[in-house]
Each structure stands twice: as structure tokens, then as C-alpha cells.
């Protein structure tokens, strides 16, 4: 009968078959046979999780066994550990130690040591280590490798290193475990030292180091290792693409993704999250849509993280409708998903919708986090909702127990400064529980620019220059305020200050995507292959603009130049060149999407409003602060940016 039951278990293909086999085990009283029970448990736990979690059923079988042996204990300990339940693994080990006649083996010890490491339980971990020495498993490679990992997790990397050094014949797994733990705790140089000493390295070794440097932000060294590696898998490619995406080298990320496809390496969810982030960073909507279609075509599972990345990508690329469509199609949404949608709506000028989303999130029982409040406060800022902003800001600590961080104070200062309540903004800065950073002072300085408050602007700039002495934008903001007030002597003084510390103004650049290719322009750019057509269109645009009553806002030009020279300087701004290229490169009424690296100037804002009406085009511009949707001569920002 035992042979028949074992055969039945061997041929079981689903949970139904296993239940039948279990019934036969009970009927024939083979539940007292540990060999049969062990086979039943192993077969059950090998079932795919897509058919339901087999662990509860396995537990019920285990606890019905009168005298489980070490093998059965180990089977359950491993199952609990694999299922991310290390505390249950530890409990099973302690239960096993209390039973007479059941002796743990090296596999038991390695499992419980891993559990202690994950639990950060140094007391039990060291006790188990001592027991291992006492019963003679001190030199077992499995146990030693687990100890290396545990002590590293506990922060005792010197003990881990000593255990590795004391091994008579350390294998590659032991080295890789310590290598991974060094990287996990941020000790990338220690990892590199170990990596360089390793006589043998495998794909795991190389991937660990690539990931380490990528996480550290050292993209160049990560790429050097990536290029040196003889073998690469999806982890290698994903780590490198992620490194480029995180450091905003988005074109490199997309280029490497293309190379990955040519190498016939199939991407996974992690790859796609980084690729979508790169698309969102440069506003490459066409490429982002292609990636989305690729995800659908290859049936990559859209889990919560990937779904959130799609929501974020579409929002950053100016297609808020597609962003919300993805959001609504998601089966499950966490606070990050909601926050991405809220921030996207806020940046697109749909402040009321952003606040409504926040209310719906609360109604669904999802507690807001820091980022959700950044989105809500940004919505209030873009809409000029000062009182509502104060209400949300105070509710963070009063209602949700969240202490406002620097970015929340920055948002609140921005709300007040944009509304012209500059003294209130300054008072809030004084009352902050920590020293304000550059973002906070820059928010105040931005309000000073709008309301031409040069005295307070000077105070903000002094503080900014202490924090960021080499950031050109701080000098430029104050210089622009002086320019508007025609204080040319102070403009000259600011430029001298910049020269004295060797600071060059970051040039404004604008990009536009046409036929899935991103074209970038700087002010006065003549490097594009279609430069002649672009400037012909620019001349046509200026003629039609002047016929519509446009007068260049030459007061914005921070040079003491002749009026005609100022007009030319304004006409050649990068966003105007990008729009001219878009007009000559796309069919009539095709929306144009522009990404600007700086805040859009008042003159370009006025020009784009008029162009949207003259050429009957929807023009979507993402500048450093928000999205502007121009259509029919108006903008969704309502002159508030």
C-alpha cells in the first residue's frame, strides 16, 4: 500500500489529486509513516502559488503528525522561510529542539540562522551558532555560509569576513553571500575589494557589483563592470538601465534598452519600471506608448509597481487622460499609485480633481503618506488655494500624525509666495523646526520675482548663495528681478559675481518628440539638419504674432541691449524653436508636446498662447514647475505658475 500511495503522490498534478492522496494516507493509517508524510508535504509545497497558497494545508498536515522527524521539520522550516515567514521558521526550530529523539542537522541550522538574520535577532542567532559548535557543525559549509549572511545583516561584517577567511574550502556561494551583504549595507568599496580578490566569479558576482555601483550612483563604474562581464542576464541589463534612469541619463537608458532587445534578453517588470521612468523624464510620449504596447504584447505582468510607473509616465509626458485610464484599470492601488495620480493632476492644473482624488483615497481607507501631501499641497499652490493649503498642511500632524518635512514646508512657502503673501511666507520660514534648504528659499525668491519685491529677494538670495554658491539659477532669479525693475547696475553686479566664481548660466533647452525621436534645441540653436525650415517658420510665426497684436516683453532680457537686439534674443528662445520645428514636422492640428528644462518665461508663455490660437494647435509644455496646456489662446495655468 505504501508503494501505491507514493506512486499516487508522484503522479499528482494538482491540489485535488493531493487531497485524494491525503485521504488515502489517512484511510490506510500511513500518516504515522514519516517517509510518506514527508513526500506528501514536499509534493504539496511544490504546487504553483497561482493555484492558491499551499502552506496553510501543509501546516494542518504537519501539526497532525504525532512524531515528525528532522526531515519533516526541515521541510516545513524551509517552506516558512521561502514564504517570508522567518519567525515561524525560528518557532519550528525551537519546537524541534524541545522534542526528545529529534536531532537537528546542518540543514536545520542553516535555515534557522537565515531566519535569525532576517529577523535581526542577534540573541537567538548567536545561541544557534553556539549550538552548532557544540554539536559539531561548525565547519559545515551550508551553516557557515548562513552565518556569514546573518552576521552581515546584524552589522557585524568583521565577523562575517572572519568566518569566510577561516573556511578551509570556501565556495563561490559563500563569497557571493558576503558580497551581496556588503552591497546591501552600502559598503560598496568593501564589496569591490572582496570581488577583486575572488579567484572565481559567476554571473551573480558581476550582477551584485553592477547593482552596487548603480545604487551608489557611480554609473561610470557600473558601466565598466557591465561591459567587462562575459555573461549578462536580465538582472545585469535591468541594473544598468536603472542606474541611467535614476541619474536622469534617460537617453542612455533608452539606448541600452534597445541594445537589450537586440541581444534577445527578455525584460521583466523591473526593467520596464526603469524604462518608463526614462520616458517620463524626457517627455517621450511616443516611446512610452510603444513600451506600454510592448508590455501588453509580451504579457508582462502589470503589478502595482509597474502600473504606478505607467500612471507616472503618462502624467509626466503630458497625457493625463491616459494616466488616469491606466489608474482606473488597475485592480489594486497603493498610496504610491494614488500619490502619482494626485501629483500628475496637480501639475496639469487640475487642482480640484487632485483634491477629489485625495478625498477618494482617504475614503478607500488608504492612509496618506509624505508624497500624497506633496501632491495635495502642489495642487493648492498651482490653484492659489491658500486657506485650503493651510488646512491640509496642519492636518498632516493634527489628523494623520505625520510631521511635515522640508518638502512640505517648501510647498507651503510656495503657496504663500505665489499668492503674494510674502511676509507670511518669510514668517513660516522663521518658524520652521529645522534650517530651510535651498528649495524653500527658492520658493520665496520665485514669489519675489512675480511681485517685484527686490529687498526680500536679496535676503533670500544671500541665504541661497550660502547653501548653493555654484548654482547659476539663484543668481539668475535675482538678476531677472533687477532686470524687470531696470536696475542695470545691480544686473551688472550680479553678472560680475557669477564671473568671479566661474559660474556659467545653464542655457535654456527645449525638446519635442516627433515620430518617436526626441529633438532638443537651445536658444539660438542652428545645429538641427532642418535649421533653414525652422527659421523660416519662426519668421512666419513672428509676422502672424505681430499681426495679432503681439509686442515682445523686452523688459525680461537681462542685457542692456538695443530694443531690436532684445527682440531677436526673445524670438530665438528654445521653446519657440521647438514649436517651429513641430509646426513644420507634423500634420495640422497635431498636438505639440514640449519639455523645457527651466521655468517658461513670460514672453514665451504669451507667444505660445497666441500660436495655439493662430495655428489651431494644442500645445502642452512641461517646464520646471508644472504643465501648461495651451489651446485657443488660453492656458490652463491661468497665468499662475
pLDDT tens digits along 245-286:
999 999 999 999 999 999 999 999 999 999 999 999 999 999
- Domain annotation covers residue 539: yes
pLDDT reading at 201 higher than 90: yes
Residue that finishes a domain, picked among 506, 540, 573: 506
Domain, as residue range, for 563: 521-635
Q: Tell me what percent of the residues of the chain surpass a pLDDT of 70.
A: 95
pLDDT on residue 100? 64
pLDDT (average), residues 589-600: 93
Kindly state the helix (H) or strand (E) to which residue 619 belongs, with its residue range: strand 619-622
Residues 6+ apart with CB under 8 A from 240: 210, 214, 222, 223, 226, 256
pLDDT (average), residues 101-111: 87
Q: Which of 55-59, 218-222, 298-302, 557-561 has the highest mean pLDDT?
A: 218-222
pLDDT reading at 101 higher than 70: no
- Domain annotation covers residue 502: yes
Most distant CA pair in the chain: distance in Å?
104
Q: Are residues 531 and 480 in the same domain?
A: no
Q: What is the pLDDT of residues 439-462, one digit of tens each?
A: 999 899 888 888 888 889 889 988
Do residues 436 and 463 touch, judged by C-beta distance below 8 A? yes
pLDDT reading at 2 higher than 80: no
pLDDT on residue 19? 81
pLDDT on residue 43? 85
CA end-to-end span of the chain: 80
pLDDT reading at 502 higher than 80: no
Residue 16 CB-density burial (10 A; 0-12 exposed, 13-18 middle, 19+ buried): exposed
Question: How far apart are the C-alpha atoms of 40 and 486, rounded to whole Å?
Answer: 86
pLDDT (average), residues 494-499: 76
pLDDT reading at 225 higher than 80: yes
pLDDT reading at 607 higher than 90: yes
Residue that finishes a domain, picked among 452, 480, 506: 506
- Domain annotation covers residue 548: yes
Do residues 109 and 128 touch, judged by C-beta distance below 8 A? yes
Q: Are residues 526 and 487 in the same domain?
A: no
Q: Are residues 451 and 486 in the same domain?
A: yes
Q: What is the pLDDT of residues 405-435, one digit of tens each?
A: 999 999 999 999 999 999 999 999 999 999 9
pLDDT reading at 99 higher than 90: no
For 309, 444, 452, 498, the CA distances from 482, given in Å and listed in that order, are: 42, 16, 9, 15
pLDDT reading at 51 higher than 80: no
Do residues 441 and 464 touch, judged by C-beta distance below 8 A? yes
Q: pLDDT tier at 358 (50, 70, 90 boundaries)?
A: very high
Q: Are residues 623 and 525 in the same domain?
A: yes
Question: How far apart are the C-alpha atoms of 518 and 284, rounded to whole Å?
Answer: 7
Q: Are residues 410 and 482 in the same domain?
A: yes
3-state secondary structure labels for all residues of 558-573:
CCCCCHHHHHHHHHCC
For 59, 421, 481, the CA distances from 101, given in Å and listed in that order, are: 21, 78, 85
pLDDT on residue 483? 75
pLDDT (average), residues 323-328: 98
| Poorest-pLDDT segment among 35-49, 299-313, 467-481 | 467-481
Q: What is the pLDDT of residues 510-538, one digit of tens each?
A: 999 999 899 999 999 999 999 999 999 99
Q: What is the pLDDT of residues 365-397, one digit of tens each?
A: 999 999 999 999 999 998 889 999 999 999 999
- Domain annotation covers residue 463: yes
Question: How far apart are the C-alpha atoms of 31 and 202, rounded to whole Å?
Answer: 44
- Domain annotation covers residue 160: no
pLDDT on residue 169? 81
- Domain annotation covers residue 554: yes
pLDDT on residue 636? 87
Residue 423: CB atoms within 10 Å: 11
Q: Are residues 498 and 526 in the same domain?
A: no
pLDDT on residue 5? 65
pLDDT (average), residues 581-594: 96
pLDDT on residue 445? 87
Average pLDDT, the chain: 90
Q: Are residues 409 and 471 in the same domain?
A: yes
pLDDT reading at 3 higher than 90: no
Q: Are residues 553 and 612 in the same domain?
A: yes
pLDDT reading at 577 higher than 90: yes
Q: pLDDT tier at 11 (50, 70, 90 boundaries)?
A: low
| Poorest-pLDDT segment among 6-10, 55-59, 296-300, 555-559 | 555-559
Q: pLDDT tier at 35 (50, 70, 90 boundaries)?
A: confident
- Domain annotation covers residue 472: yes
- Domain annotation covers residue 468: yes
Do residues 418 and 450 touch, judged by C-beta distance below 8 A? yes
pLDDT on residue 4? 66
Q: Are residues 536 and 616 in the same domain?
A: yes
pLDDT reading at 16 higher than 90: no
pLDDT on residue 639? 77
Q: pLDDT tier at 139 (50, 70, 90 boundaries)?
A: confident
pLDDT (average), residues 577-606: 94
Strand pairing category for 592-596 and 627-631:
unpaired
Residue 246: CB atoms within 10 Å: 17
pLDDT (average), residues 36-56: 81
| Poorest-pLDDT segment among 116-120, 309-313, 476-480 | 476-480
Q: Are residues 540 and 434 in the same domain?
A: no
The structure's pTM equals 0.80
Question: How far apart are the C-alpha atoms of 344 and 316, rounded to whole Å?
Answer: 7
Q: Tell me what percent of the residues of the chain surpass a pLDDT of 90.
A: 67
**Cell numbers describing residue 461:** 538670495
pLDDT on residue 562? 74
State how far Cα 496 lies from the chain centre.
39
pLDDT on residue 23? 82
pLDDT on residue 281? 95
Q: Are residues 554 and 605 in the same domain?
A: yes
pLDDT reading at 32 higher than 90: no
Strand order across the 619-622 sheet: 517-522, 509-514, 592-596, 619-622, 627-631, 634-635
Question: How far apart are the C-alpha atoms of 617 and 632, rounded to whole Å?
Answer: 8
The CATH number linked to 449 is 1.25.40.10
What is the number of domains present in the chain?
Answer: 2
Q: pLDDT tier at 573 (50, 70, 90 boundaries)?
A: very high
pLDDT on residue 8? 64
pLDDT reading at 107 higher than 70: yes
φ, ψ (nearest 5 deg) of residue 594: -115, 140
Q: Are residues 527 and 628 in the same domain?
A: yes
Residue that finishes a domain, picked among 477, 506, 535: 506
Residue 634: CB atoms within 10 Å: 13
Q: pLDDT tier at 485 (50, 70, 90 boundaries)?
A: confident
| Poorest-pLDDT segment among 43-47, 122-126, 317-321 | 43-47
pLDDT reading at 324 higher than 90: yes
Q: pLDDT tier at 28 (50, 70, 90 boundaries)?
A: confident
Amino acid at each position: 500500500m505504501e508503494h501505491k500511495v507514493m506512486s499516487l503522490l508522484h503522479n499528482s498534478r494538482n491540489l485535488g489529486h493531493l487531497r485524494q492522496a491525503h485521504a488515502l494516507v489517512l484511510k490506510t493509517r500511513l500518516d504515522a509513516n514519516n517517509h510518506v508524510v514527508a513526500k506528501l508535504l514536499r509534493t504539496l509545497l511544490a504546487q504553483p502559488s497561482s493555484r492558491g497558497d499551499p502552506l496553510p494545508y501543509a501546516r494542518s498536515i504537519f501539526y497532525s503528525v504525532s512524531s515528525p522527524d528532522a526531515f519533516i521539520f526541515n521541510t516545513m522550516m524551509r517552506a516558512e522561510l521561502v514564504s517570508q515567514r522567518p519567525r515561524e521558521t525560528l518557532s519550528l526550530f525551537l519546537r524541534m529542539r524541545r522534542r526528545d529523539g529529534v536531532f537537528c542537522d546542518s540543514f536545520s541550522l542553516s535555515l534557522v540562522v537565515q531566519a535569525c538574520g532576517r529577523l535581526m535577532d542577534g540573541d537567538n542567532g548567536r545561541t544557534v551558532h553556539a549550538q552548532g559548535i557544540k554539536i559539531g557543525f561548525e565547519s559545515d559549509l551550508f551553516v557557515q555560509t548562513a552565518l556569514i549572511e546573518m552576521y552581515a545583516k546584524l552589522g557585524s561584517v568583521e565577523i562575517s569576513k572572519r568566518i569566510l577567511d577561516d573556511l578551509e574550502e570556501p565556495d563561490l556561494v559563500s563569497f557571493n553571500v558576503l558580497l551581496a551583504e556588503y552591497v546591501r549595507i552600502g559598503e560598496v568599496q568593501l564589496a569591490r575589494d572582496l570581488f577583486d580578490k575572488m579567484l572565481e566569479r559567476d554571473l551573480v558576482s558581476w550582477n551584485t557589483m553592477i547593482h552596487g555601483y548603480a545604487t551608489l550612483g557611480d554609473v561610470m563604474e557600473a558601466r565598466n563592470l557591465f561591459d567587462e562581464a562575459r555573461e549578462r542576464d536580465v538582472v545585469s541589463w535591468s541594473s544598468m538601465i536603472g542606474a541611467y534612469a535614476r541619474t536622469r541619463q534617460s537617453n542612455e537608458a533608452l539606448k541600452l534598452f534597445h541594445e537589450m532587445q537586440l541581444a534577445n534578453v527578455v525584460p521583466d517588470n523591473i526593467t520596464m519600471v526603469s524604462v518608463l521612468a526614462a520616458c517620463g523624464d524626457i517627455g517621450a510620449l511616443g516611446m512610452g506608448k510603444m513600451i506600454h504596447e510592448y508590455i501588453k504584447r509580451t504579457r508582462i505582468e502589470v503589478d502595482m509597481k509597474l502600473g504606478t510607473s505607467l500612471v507616472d509616465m503618462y502624467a509626466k509626458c503630458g497625457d493625463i487622460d491616459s494616466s488616469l485610464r491606466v489608474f482606473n484599470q488597475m485592480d489594486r492601488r497603493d498610496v504610491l499609485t494614488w500619490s502619482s495620480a494626485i501629483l500628475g493632476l496637480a501639475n496639469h492644473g487640475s487642482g480640484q480633481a487632485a483634491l477629489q482624488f485625495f478625498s477618494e483615497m482617504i475614503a478607500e481607507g488608504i492612509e496618506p503618506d509624505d508624497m500624497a501631501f506633496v501632491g495635495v499641497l502642489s495642487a493648492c499652490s498651482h490653484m492659489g488655494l491658500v486657506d485650503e493649503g493651510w488646512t491640509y498642511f496642519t492636518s498632516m500632524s493634527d489628523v494623520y500624525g505625520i510631521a511635515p518635512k522640508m518638502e512640505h514646508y517648501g510647498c507651503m512657502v510656495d503657496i504663500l509666495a505665489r499668492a503674494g503673501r510674502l511676509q507670511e511666507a518669510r514668517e513660516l520660514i522663521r518658524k520652521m523646526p529645522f534650517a530651510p534648504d535651498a528649495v524653500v528659499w527658492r520658493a520665496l525668491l520665485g514669489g519675489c520675482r512675480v511681485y517685484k519685491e527686490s529687498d526680500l529677494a536679496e535676503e533670500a538670495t544671500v541665504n541661497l548663495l550660502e547653501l548653493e554658491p555654484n548654482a547659476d539659477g539663484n543668481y539668475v532669479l535675482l538678476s531677472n528681478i533687477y532686470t524687470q525693475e531696470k536696475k542695470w547696475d545691480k544686473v551688472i553686479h550680479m553678472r560680475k559675481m557669477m564671473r568671479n566664481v566661474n559660474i556659467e548660466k545653464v542655457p535654456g533647452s527645449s525638446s519635442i518628440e516627433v515620430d518617436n525621436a526626441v529633438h532638443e534645441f537651445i536658444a539660438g540653436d542652428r545645429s538641427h539638419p532642418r535649421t533653414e525650415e525652422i527659421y523660416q517658420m519662426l519668421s512666419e510665426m513672428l509676422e502672424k504674432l505681430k499681426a495679432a497684436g503681439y509686442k515682445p516683453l523686452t523688459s525680461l532680457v537681462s542685457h542692456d541691449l538695443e530694443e531690436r537686439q532684445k527682440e531677436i534674443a526673445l524670438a530665438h528662445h528654445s521653446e519657440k524653436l521647438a514649436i517651429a520645428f513641430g509646426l513644420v514636422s507634423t500634420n495640422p492640428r497635431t498636438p505639440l508636446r514640449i519639455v523645457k528644462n527651466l521655468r517658461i518665461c513670460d514672453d514665451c508663455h504669451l507667444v505660445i498662447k497666441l500660436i495655439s490660437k493662430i495655428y489651431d494647435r494644442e500645445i502642452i509644455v512641461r517646464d520646471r514647475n508644472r504643465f501648461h496646456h495651451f489651446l485657443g489662446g488660453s492656458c490652463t495655468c491661468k497665468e499662475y505658475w
